[in-house]
Structure 1
Amino acid sequence: MEPQPSLKKKTIGGLMWSFGDLIGNQGIQFLIQIILARLLLPEHFGLIGMILVFIALSNSLVDSGFTQALIRERHANQTDYSTVFYFNLFVSLLIYLILFMAAPAISRFFDEPQLVALVRVLSIGIVINAFAVIPKAMFAKEVNFKTQAKINLSSSILSGLFAVGLALAGYGVWSLVLRQLSMNAIQSLLFSLTKKWLPSLVFSMSSFKRLFGFGWKLLVSGLIDTFYTNVYFLIIGRQYSAAQLGYYTNASRFSEIVSQNLAATILRVTYPVLSSIQDEHERLKQSYKNITRLAAFLIFPVMVGMAAIGEPLVLLVFGEKWLPMVPYFQLLSIAGMLYPILALDLSILQVKGRSDLYLYLEIINKLSLTILLFLAVWLELGVIGLIGAAILNTYLEFFVNSHVSKREVAYPATEKLGDLLPIYLISFGMGAVVWLIGQQVEGNLLFQMVLQVTAGIFIYIAVCRIANIGELRTVYGLISSVLAQKNKR
């Protein structure tokens, strides 16, 4: 059994480098996205948005749930890794062939002739990504996010500079396509060279059946989740203009910088750590509870704050031509608040080996979303209505996920609601004050935003201190631990 100090040290170290990856990698990508948004048109981003659902689904198929199965496997060996590698590579080549042949049909569906070439070139990245799956899984098992952070940062910088150069040269939408492809290629190359892993000439059916037995349910769940995450691009691209989809695409990516990326950072650190204590029920529950509260403490105020400063933020960052994306960005920020909590609920089912319940939840939650989306389209509520359906569904998911996950970890919705409600109310109260400050201040957008952010941080910390929110002390402790480790070097 691993001692508590070792587990804590491993978690803190992983969080430090994983958050560093988030700030560095996503910061660079965000900067590149801003530059490209100013150089390109909303229509260019809309064209890429039309393809996203197909690329995202394909990448989920390539992984096939094996990554999570390998991370959870305590004694994965070379035969296991080689088997998964060959299977992933075969599936990626097969999917590329299917997309290549389906490109004309996709183009006709959206009535965009350019999509034929765009689909055929962008989907090459699916094959490239297959080469990085095993090295990434190995680093995750080791809770080694320092190396991953360096690789992700390097690939973001190099591919971003390449894309900006192409945009300045007038390549339009192709600068976005080649940016993604170059990032895929650089990441796969660096992961492979750094890990120095090569597959053996072996494919074991017993390894495949064992890992796929756990992973296939995650695969189906992942496909369902990926489809519904990207279904908005499909509906908006079909029903509205490429420019409208461009506004939604950038609003979605902008809001996800915090919610999904921070959630992914927390999950990729905590999943292997929690997996190592999966049989220690009380310790697992307490760790799961602490992580859930900490995730809410960090993400709730940021998402509400982003919505509150939405207009000056979009105008300052993207410029006047992107003003129509403001309401989309604000609503998507609110929709993204609960995403990390929902992801943690599903993650704990993976830790406990209940991929069957994971799949069950995905089916139930997406069925409710289908009904809500159908109503939004039928009532002709527009893009705002589609986003409203997403917000309502996240709250329904919260209660459904909590009800099901309590079977494995005794943390029911009522207890979880009691833990999260104070942070939720404080965040919205802070957001309301920040928004009111913005309404009173006119003139310089940068001054307005700095004033709003400063006021928001001060209000949130002050109220949390008065309300005796324990996560404030936890964050102070994490910062002190990081600084102490740094000083020892």
Structure 2
Amino acid sequence: MYSSLRVQTFRGIVWSSLDRFSAQGIQFILSFIIARRLEPSDYGLIAMLGIFMALAQTFIDSGFSNALIQKQERTEVDYSTVFYFNIGIGVILYGILYLLAPFIADFYNQPLLEDLIAWVGLNFVIYAFSTIQRTKLIIELDFKRQAFISIIAVVVSGIVAVWMAYNGYGVWTLVVQGLLNNVIILILLWFSAHWLPLWIFSKQSFKELFGFGSKLLGGSILHTIYINIYTLIIGKFFSSIELGCYNRSYTITQYPSSNITTILTRVTYPIECRMQDDNERLQEKYFLFIRLTAFCVFPMMIGLAAVADPLIRIVLTDKWLLCVPYLRIMCLAYMWDPIMRMTWDLLNVKSRSDYSLKSEIIKKVTAFIVLLITIPLGVEMMCVGLVCYTFADLIIVSQYTKKILPRVVFLEIVKELFPVLCLSLAMGGIVYFIQFLINVLWLQLLSGIIIGIFFYIGIACVMKFKEQRIIGELLMNLWH
């Protein structure tokens, strides 16, 4: 049973990875191609809408997806109730944003935002129609189907976006790319998920799911505001070029960090929910998950920080050089994202969404204090504030996890991850130093990547890191 669950987990991670990294990888490459033609200010305009888009998406789901995944005896009535609620919220939010468009444009002193909002806001409604289909596939651990859907959508919308970028459509390139991507995903999900809603909305089902999901909604709103308040403040008090560079750095950093977080939590959360009544086994799985996560994520993020300068110069050109310091600092902050999210998820696995909300409130109060202190010091110091918040986040949430799982405390988490962190930092230092010995940009980047990989894996083998052994065993057993 244990071996079967381990292989099932790994298979889910593999297909979830293909879903995220194949689609997002293509999108990532296409975004570099598009960014070479567009200006940082074009990305700055779209980033100004980030907080409104992210909040709307949070409200549309309202924690119901996690509530459905966590509930073991879910019914078709539950699915249908959430489906109609999501659509209603999506339409209402679009109407609100449309009415607020003139005020948002005045706030940023960017008249073009009024027209952009009218089109970008349509994503709310499109997303609302596909949330249940996504949730059902996650519950079934069917990431293979999601991978194919994502790839098709990204390729088609990306090709159209590249054509628009090279034909002078400017910021509208980004608008059309997002809309087309979501429309294609919506159509393919409806055709492939084999699910249709019942003509029913159950107040009892809504009340039960919202009782759990509302607390997650509260925490998600706070987190969403915090993450996106940076773009709002930079857009208001700094130039659109600085905002564009911050946004591009954030996007590059989030590609490995956010995607890996999504990949892992989409698989680990439903699996951990199955063992929610076995504390010892749940703790054992949690520490296994974070060790394997850190073993892959830490060197990736620290390595990215080390090669930031040649990467930006080669891929985005010198007009994006302001990204380099932002990117380096944010790599150190967001490398902890998967660990923070997996720790926080334990509260929801144990049905303590009240703890998750309380911890989120305390974390975000701390985060806003750090943000207010760093705003007068400039964008770079605001990024440093993100690093400070990262450790505060983990310390605070672990104060709640230890109430339900005694082993999951901050010092124990750090103890588990410390060897991997030290090896990753050593690798990053070597990669960074190599750049001073080589004058050719592409050689700096290529040699840094190759030497970093061989150094990290080589030392891990010599020191017999158990994470490497586990990953090797899983790869060998994957298709057996």
Tell whether the structures are fold-level matches, with TM greater than 0.5.
Answer: yes
How big is the shift at 1:62? 0.2
- Aligned to 2:435, which of 434, 438, 442? 438
Residue matched to 2:322: 324
- Aligned to 1:383, which of 368, 376, 379? 379
Give the 5 Å matches for 1:65-464: 65-377=63-375, 380-410=376-406, 411-443=408-440, 445-464=441-460
1: CA distance between counterparts of 2:393 and 2:89? 31
1: CA distance between counterparts of 2:5 and 2:454? 33
2: CA distance between counterparts of 1:6 and 1:125? 39
CA contact (8 A) 2:272 2:282 kept: yes
2: CA distance between counterparts of 1:419 and 1:466? 19
1: CA distance between counterparts of 2:477 and 2:107? 54
How big is the shift at 1:466? 2.9
How big is the shift at 1:162? 1.2
2: CA distance between counterparts of 1:240 and 1:359? 32
CA contact (8 A) 2:374 2:381 kept: yes
How big is the shift at 1:348? 1.0
2: CA distance between counterparts of 1:95 and 1:66? 17
2: CA distance between counterparts of 1:412 and 1:330? 28
How big is the shift at 1:367? 0.5
Q: Which runs of 5+ in 2 are unaligned?
A: none
How big is the shift at 1:306? 0.3
Equivalent AA in structure 2 for residue 313 of structure 1 = L
2: CA distance between counterparts of 1:288 and 1:408? 13
Using structure 2 for the length normalisation, give the TM-score. 0.98
How big is the shift at 1:324? 1.3
| Partner SS, residue 244 of structure 2 | helix
1: CA distance between counterparts of 2:241 and 2:216? 35
How big is the shift at 1:120? 1.4
Equivalent AA in structure 1 for residue 430 of structure 2 = V
How big is the shift at 1:68? 0.4
How big is the shift at 1:454? 1.0
Equivalent AA in structure 1 for residue 425 of structure 2 = F
Alpha-carbon displacement from aligned partner over 1:441-480 (angstroms, at most 9, x marks no partner) = 112x222211111111111112222333210111212222
Equivalent AA in structure 2 for residue 381 of structure 1 = L
How big is the shift at 1:413? 1.6
How big is the shift at 1:282? 1.1
CA contact (8 A) 1:10 1:143 kept: no
Equivalent AA in structure 1 for residue 55 of structure 2 = L
2: CA distance between counterparts of 1:198 and 1:153? 24
Alpha-carbon displacement from aligned partner over 1:206-242 (angstroms, at most 9, x marks no partner) = 1000100000000111111111111110010001111
How big is the shift at 1:54? 0.3
Alpha-carbon displacement from aligned partner over 1:308-364 (angstroms, at most 9, x marks no partner) = 000001111111211111111111111111111100111111111111111111111
RMSD of aligned residue pairs (Cα, Å):
1.1
- Aligned to 1:60, which of 40, 58, 61? 58
Using structure 1 for the length normalisation, give the TM-score. 0.96
How big is the shift at 1:4? 2.5
2: CA distance between counterparts of 1:207 and 1:298? 40
| Partner SS, residue 406 of structure 1 | helix
Alpha-carbon displacement from aligned partner over 1:151-189 (angstroms, at most 9, x marks no partner) = 111111111111111112211100101100111111111
1: CA distance between counterparts of 2:187 and 2:78? 21
CA contact (8 A) 1:57 1:226 kept: yes
Range that drifts further, 313-322 or 126-135: 313-322
CA contact (8 A) 2:7 2:474 kept: no
| Partner SS, residue 407 of structure 1 | helix
How many residue pairs match? The answer is: 479
How big is the shift at 1:9? 2.8
2: CA distance between counterparts of 1:467 and 1:131? 50
CA contact (8 A) 2:7 2:477 kept: no
Residue matched to 1:466: 462
2: CA distance between counterparts of 1:6 and 1:430? 35
1: CA distance between counterparts of 2:155 and 2:474? 29
1: CA distance between counterparts of 2:260 and 2:464? 24
Equivalent AA in structure 2 for residue 105 of structure 1 = F
CA contact (8 A) 2:21 2:259 kept: no
How big is the shift at 1:144? 0.8
CA contact (8 A) 1:296 1:420 kept: yes
Equivalent AA in structure 2 for residue 219 of structure 1 = L
| Partner SS, residue 439 of structure 1 | coil
CA contact (8 A) 2:51 2:228 kept: yes
How big is the shift at 1:23? 2.3
| Partner SS, residue 226 of structure 2 | helix
CA contact (8 A) 2:47 2:243 kept: yes
How big is the shift at 1:32? 1.1
How big is the shift at 1:71? 0.9
CA contact (8 A) 1:152 1:187 kept: yes
